[in-house]
Amino acid sequence: MKLDQMFGDDRAVSPVIGVILMVAITVILAAVIGTFVLGLGDSLGDSAPQASFQCEGNTLVHGGGDSLDGDTLNASPGSAQSGTLTAGDDVATGFTGENATLSWSSGDQSAILRNGGC
Cβ neighbours of residue 54 closer than 8 Å, sequence gap 6 or more = 60, 61, 63
Residue 27, H or E segment = helix 13-43
The answer to whether the beta carbons of residues 41 and 31 sit under 8 Å apart is no
pLDDT at 5: 61
Q: Domain residue spans in the chain?
A: 12-42, 51-115
Structure confidence by residue, pLDDT tens digits, 29-81: 999 898 888 776 555 556 778 888 888 887 888 888 888 887 888 888 777 77
* Residue-level pLDDT at 52: 81
Q: What is the pLDDT of residue 27?
A: 96
Residue 96 pLDDT greater than 80, yes or no: no
* pLDDT-above-90 percentage for the chain: 10
Q: Is the pLDDT of residue 111 over 70?
A: yes
pLDDT given for residue 6 in this prediction? 59
Residue 45: predicted pLDDT:
56
Higher per-residue pLDDT: 5 or 81: 81
Longest dimension (CA), the chain: 103
Q: Residue 82 to residues 24, 57, 66, 68: CA-CA distances in angstroms?
A: 53, 20, 15, 9
Map residue 113 onto helix, strand or coil. strand
Q: What are the residues whose beta carbons fall under 8 Å from the beta carbon of 105, sequence distance 6 or more?
A: 72, 74, 111
